[in-house]
């Protein structure tokens, strides 16, 4: 994709580049959702289900999924 690695100092956020090395946009940030102490799993699932309704059944099967159990 021609995306240059991001600088990261270990203290400040390092977000993905909106443009590739040639200056072409390859992604866009539409909404800032804030910061969270833990992964907001339910919020993520609800957002993905809203954006991709054809995948809704996949999320129902994992409704009681636990990120802690996966670690």
Tens digits of per-residue pLDDT, 16-61? 777 777 888 877 778 888 888 888 888 888 888 888 888 877 766 5
What is the chain's alpha carbon radius of gyration, rounded to the nearest angstrom? 16
Sequence spans of domains, the chain: 1-30, 35-64
End-to-end C-alpha distance for the chain, whole angstroms: 30
Report d(CA 16, CA 28) in Å as an integer: 9
Rounded to two decimals, the pTM is 0.48
């Amino acid at each position: 994709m021609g995306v240059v690695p991001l600088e990261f100092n270990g203290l400040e956020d390092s977000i993905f580049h909106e443009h590739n090395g040639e200056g072409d946009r390859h992604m866009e940030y539409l909404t800032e959702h804030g910061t969270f102490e833990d992964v907001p799993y339910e919020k993520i699932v609800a957002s993905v289900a809203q954006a991709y309704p054809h995948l809704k059944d996949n999320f129902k099967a994992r409704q009681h999924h636990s990120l802690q159990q996966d670690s």
